[in-house]
Structure 1
Amino acid sequence: MSAPIETVVIVGSDTTLWLAAAVLRNALRPAGLAVEAVELPATLRPADVHATLPPLEALHAQLRIDEKALLRSTGGAFSLGQNFTDTSGAATAFLHAYGSCGAPIEDREFFAYWLKARRLGLGVPLDDFSLTASAARHGRLMIPDDETDRYGRADYGYHLPALAYARSLKMLAIRDGVRAHETSALGIALDPDRGTIKAVELEGGRRIEGQLFIDATADARLIGRALGVRVESWRDHFPVDRVLAATGPRFASIPIYAEVRASEGGWTALHPTQAATHVVHAYASASASDEEAAVAAARAAGMPIADIAIRSPEPGRRESAWAGNCVAIGAAACTFDPVHGVDLHAAQLGLVHLLSFFPAGTDHAAERAEYNRIMRSGLCRLRDFQSAHYALNRYGDAPFWTTAREAVLPAELAQDIATFRARGLVAPREDESFSPDSWRALFVGHGTVPESYIPAVDTVPADMVKEHFRRMLGFVRDQVMRQPTHDQYLDGIGGASRG
C-alpha cells in the first residue's frame, strides 16, 4: 500500500491559488491534510474582473462564504446573464440569461412548443418566457422561491473585481488553516528516479516538500516548465489574439447583466460593478494596433477608460491536466478565449473533480487517468460553447467576423449545430457545463432556426398551448415586478453608495 497524502503544496497567485487553497482545506481538513500555499507575485491588474457563471454561488455556499459580506468587501454585483449586441446593426441583440425559458407542457419540453408556435406566426421572443431574462431587462434581481422553482431555473452569477476577490479568498484560506508563503523566486526539485516533483524551493533557502502539488500559476511553471507537459493549441478555433482590460466610470444605476458589443474589429464587454465599469476589448493584432484598440474600446464602451492592461491569450489545453504528482488548475491546465468568461468556472471544475478523485496514497495512476479523461471532455465542451459564438455570428462582413465564421469547427460542435438545425434538439453531452437553455439561447440568438420540431407536440391542441403561453407570460411578468431592483438590493446590504 502506498504512503498517504499528508501535504498538498499549491503554487500560484491571485484567485486561482486562493480558491484552490480554500476549497482543498475546507474539504480535506477533517482528514488532517496540510495545505501549503506558495504565493508568487500577482498577475492581476486593477481592471481585471471575474464575470462568473452560476455554479460559483454553490461553491461559495460550501465554503461558508457570506454572499452579502463578499459583495460589500469586493464592490461586486450580480449578473443574470450577457446581452449580445451589434454596433453595426447587422444582427439583432439577444440575451443569454442564466436560467430556463418556459415550463414543460404535458411533460414535454417547452422549446418544441415555442418552435411550432413561431412557425405559425408567434412573435414573442424565446427569452420573454425566462424569469431571469425578464428580470435583467427590468433591472431587477430574481430571488427564487418555491413558485419560481416550480416554473423553472432562475440562476445568477457575479461581477467580482478580481483583486478584491482574490484578497477575500486569501483571508478565508488562511483563516481556515492554510499556511501561506510569499516568494518572488521559485525553484522546483524533481525526484531523479520517478521524475515527479519532490519539493519547491523559495527565496531565502526555504524548501517545501509535499506528496501532491497543484500548479495554479499563470504560466504552468510546474506542469509545463518542470514536467514538460505540452499544450494542444486551439488557435485555429478563435480569431482573438489580443485582449485589453480597462476600467470606466460606474453606472448611476447598475445593470444586472453584462453587455457584449460586437464591432468591426472585435467585441467589447461591459461588466458593471459597484465602483466601476470593467471593460474587456477582444481583437486581432493583425487588424488593429494596441493604440487603435484602446480608442476602439472607449468608443464601443461609450465612456473614457483607464487602468489599461493588454494580454495575448493563446487558447489551448494542456495535454494532461494531471501528470505525475502534479495537478494543473486554471490557466496552467487550459487557456480560453475571453468570450463568456469561463476561466474561473474551468478552475472550479478542476477542483471539484480533484476532490472526487483525490488519491488515498501516492500511487494514484487510476485516479489520474480518470481525472484527465473527465477534464479533457469538460474543458473541450467549454471551448465548443465559446467557438459557437464566433462560428454562428451574423455581425457583418468585416474581416474579423468573416474570419470567425470560417474558423475550424470542433467535430462535436459541428454535430451539435447540425442536430439543432434539423430538429431543435440540444444533444446531451458528457461533462457539459452549459444547460440546454444556454445552448438554445446562443443558437437562436445568432439566428440558427431549426427546420422542424419533435412531432409529439402536435398532439396537444393549439388552444391549450396558447393558454399555457398566456399563463407563463403573466406569471413571469408578475414575479419579476415583485422583485427588488438591483440597486435596492445592493443598497440594502450596505453596498457602495451611488451618487
Structure 2
Amino acid sequence: MSPPVRTVLIVGRDADAWLAALALHRAVGRLSVTVSVLELPSLLTPADVYIGLPSLGGMHALLGLDEAAVMAAASGAPILGQRYANWGRTRPAFVHGYDAQRVGIEDIDFHQFWTRARAEGLPVAFEDFHLASAAARQGRSAVDAEGRTIEAPIGWGRNLDARRYAALLRRVAIQAGVTARKGRVASVERDGDHIRAVIDDSGERLTADLYIDASGAEAVLVAGQPGAAFESWRDLFGVDRVMAASAGRLDPLPGFSQIAAFRAGWVGQYPLADRTAVVACYDSRLMDDSAVLEALPVLTARALGVDASVEAFEPGMRPAWTGNCVALGAAAARLEPLDGAPLHLAHIGLSQLIAWFPVSTEAMPEAKAHNSALRRHVEGVRDFQLAHYRLNQRFDEPFWDRARSAPTSERLSWKLEAFAARGLLPTYDDETFQEQNWTQILIGHGLVPRSHDPLIDKVAPEEQMARFRGLLARIAEQVRDLPTAEDAVRR
C-alpha cells in the first residue's frame, strides 16, 4: 500500500493560491500534512477587483477570517445584488437581489401568483416583492457599522480590492504556518500523469505528494498533464477581452453593482470603499481595446483613472485533477466576472478538493469524483451567466443577436422552456444559484411565464391581494430598519 499524502506544493499566485494554502492548511494540516507555496509573480493591477457572492462569507468563517477585518483591509463594500441595465432596448433595468429565502404563498412559489396577477393588470414589478432587491435600490446593507451581519433573510456580497485582498490572504496563511518562496517554474518532471518534481528558476527541485496548480489562466502545471486538454466555451459567450479600470468613489455608496450592456459586450461598475472598479467584457472584433477605453467614460458616466489594463480571455474548463496534480480556480475553469464567477469557482474547487482529499500518494481514485462534481457546479454557474445572454433584447446588433442564438446546454434549454410555459423551474443540488435567483433574472430579462400553476387557484383573489399588500408592507418596514451601505464602511 502506498504511503498517505504528507506534502502539498501549491504553484500559483494571488487569491487562488492563498485561498488554497490557507484552506488546505486548516483542513488537513492537523493530519500532519505540510502545505507550501511556490509564489509566482502577481498578475493583479491596481484596477482589479474580486467580486464575492454571499457564499464567500461562509468560506471566510471556515478560514477563521474576521469579516470586518477582511472588508477593512481590502477596501471592501457590501452589496445586496446586481443591477442589470440596457440588456433590452425597451425593458427597464432590474436588480437581482441576494435573497436568502424562497418567497411563497401556501407553499406555492410566489412567481406563480405574480404571473397571474400581472396578466390581470398588477402594476407592481416582480423585484419589488424581494427584500434584497428593494433594499439594494435604496442603498441599504446587511452589515452594520461594526461589521456585523444583520439578522435578515438576505445575503450580502463583497466587492474587494484584488491586490489588498490577496495580500491579506497571504499574510494570514504565512502567519498560520504555510511556508512560501517566490519564483517561477523552469520545468516540470513527470512520470506519466504523475508530477515528480517542479524545478524553479533558481534550479531548486521542489517535490511533494500532491501538486496544486493555482497559476490562473497560465495553468503552468496542469496544461502539461496528459488528459487535461482545455475545452473552450468561446462560442457560447462571444467575448475575448477583459478590461479593468478605476473611477472615483461613489458617494453615497449604492447597495448594488451595476452591469450595463453595450454593443460589443457589457461593463460593470463595482463600488469599493475608496474607488469604483470598472470591468468590461467584450468582443475585440467589434470594438478594439482603444475604442472600448475611449467609450468607457461615456458608458459609465464616470471619469476614469490612468490604471486601465487589458487581458485576453477565453472561457472554458478542463479536467481539474489528473494524476497527482489538481488545478484550482482559473487554472481549472474560467468564466467571465458576471455574477462573481471567478472567485466562486476557486471556492467550489477548494470545497470539492477538501471533500475528496486523497489518502494515497499513488492511486488517487478521488480524481474522478472531484472532476465530475466540479464540472456540474461550473456548468451550473455557466448556464446562469448564459441565461443573461440568451434573454437579451438588444436587436439588430451583431454581438447580441449572436448571443441569443448561440448554442445552449440541454439543461439550460429545458429550464428556459419549462419556465416560459408555466413557471416551472427545474433545479439541481449542485447549483450555486437557487430558485429565487433564477426567477429574478428570468423575469427581469422579460421571460414571463405564459401560464401559471393551477394550484394557485385554491387561493382566493382577495386573499392573494391581501398577501401581496402584507408582503410589500413588511419589506418596506424591513428596508427602513436596515443600515445604509455608507454606514457599513464608516468604521
* CA deviation after TM superposition for structure 1 residue 461, in Å: 1.2
Match of 1:50 in 2: 50
Match of 1:184 in 2: 184
The answer on 1:277 being equivalent to 2:276 is yes
TM-score (norm 2): 0.95
Q: Where do 4+ consecutive residues of structure 1 move more than 4 Å? A: 143-149
* CA deviation after TM superposition for structure 1 residue 157, in Å: 0.7
* Alpha carbons 1:88, 1:263 under 8 Å: kept: no
**What is the rounded CA distance, in whole Å, between the counterparts of 2:121 and 2:320 in structure 1?**
49
* Alpha carbons 1:393, 1:446 under 8 Å: kept: yes
**What is the rounded CA distance, in whole Å, between the counterparts of 1:139 and 1:270 in structure 2?**
15
* Alpha carbons 2:260, 2:267 under 8 Å: kept: yes
Aligned length: 486
Match of 2:207 in 1: 209
Match of 1:463 in 2: 462
SS of structure 2 residue aligned to 1:467: helix
Letter in 2 for 1:217: S
* CA deviation after TM superposition for structure 1 residue 146, in Å: 12
* Alpha carbons 1:116, 1:453 under 8 Å: kept: yes
**What is the rounded CA distance, in whole Å, between the counterparts of 1:464 and 1:102 in structure 2?**
20
* CA deviation after TM superposition for structure 1 residue 258, in Å: 0.5
Match of 1:35 in 2: 35
* Alpha carbons 1:421, 1:451 under 8 Å: kept: yes
Q: Residue by residue, what CA displacement relative to the aligned partner does 1:293-333 show, whole Å, maximum 9, x if unpaired? A: 10111211111213111111111111x11000011101110
Q: Residue by residue, what CA displacement relative to the aligned partner does 1:70-97 show, whole Å, maximum 9, x if unpaired? A: 1111111111111011188433211111
Cα–Cα, structure 1 residues 90 and 118, in superposed 2: closer, same or farther, change >3 Å? closer
* CA deviation after TM superposition for structure 1 residue 474, in Å: 0.8
Match of 2:442 in 1: 443
* CA deviation after TM superposition for structure 1 residue 148, in Å: 6.4
* Alpha carbons 2:237, 2:403 under 8 Å: kept: yes
The answer on 1:361 being equivalent to 2:371 is no
Match of 2:141 in 1: 141
Cα–Cα, structure 1 residues 224 and 262, in superposed 2: closer, same or farther, change >3 Å? same
* Alpha carbons 2:99, 2:436 under 8 Å: kept: yes
**What is the rounded CA distance, in whole Å, between the counterparts of 1:146 and 1:206 in structure 2?**
46
**What is the rounded CA distance, in whole Å, between the counterparts of 1:284 and 1:326 in structure 2?**
33
Tell me how large the CA RMSD over aligned residues is. 1.9
* CA deviation after TM superposition for structure 1 residue 107, in Å: 2.3
Instruction: Return 5+ residue gaps in structure 2 as ranges.
Output: none
* CA deviation after TM superposition for structure 1 residue 453, in Å: 1.5
Cα–Cα, structure 1 residues 368 and 87, in superposed 2: closer, same or farther, change >3 Å? closer
Match of 1:384 in 2: 383
Letter in 1 for 2:66: D
Match of 2:122 in 1: 122
Q: Residue by residue, what CA displacement relative to the aligned partner does 1:134-165 show, whole Å, maximum 9, x if unpaired? A: 1111111135999965xxx3011100011000
**What is the rounded CA distance, in whole Å, between the counterparts of 1:335 and 1:72 in structure 2?**
28
Match of 1:97 in 2: 97
TM-score (norm 1): 0.94
Q: Residue by residue, what CA displacement relative to the aligned partner does 1:378-427 show, whole Å, maximum 9, x if unpaired? A: 11111111111111101232222112112111221111110111121210
**What is the rounded CA distance, in whole Å, between the counterparts of 2:155 and 2:359 in structure 1?**
35
Cα–Cα, structure 1 residues 404 and 139, in superposed 2: closer, same or farther, change >3 Å? same
Q: Residue by residue, what CA displacement relative to the aligned partner does 1:353-378 show, whole Å, maximum 9, x if unpaired? A: 11111112224443111111111111
**What is the rounded CA distance, in whole Å, between the counterparts of 2:396 and 2:483 in structure 1?**
42
**What is the rounded CA distance, in whole Å, between the counterparts of 2:287 and 2:359 in structure 1?**
52
* CA deviation after TM superposition for structure 1 residue 430, in Å: 4.0
* CA deviation after TM superposition for structure 1 residue 447, in Å: 0.5
SS of structure 2 residue aligned to 1:252: coil
Match of 1:497 in 2: none
Letter in 2 for 1:202: D
Letter in 2 for 1:443: L
* CA deviation after TM superposition for structure 1 residue 289, in Å: 1.6
Q: Residue by residue, what CA displacement relative to the aligned partner does 1:250-270 show, whole Å, maximum 9, x if unpaired? A: 112111211011122321110
The answer on 1:434 being equivalent to 2:433 is yes
Identity value in percent: 37
**What is the rounded CA distance, in whole Å, between the counterparts of 1:364 and 1:92 in structure 2?**
55
Match of 2:110 in 1: 110
SS of structure 1 residue aligned to 2:475: helix
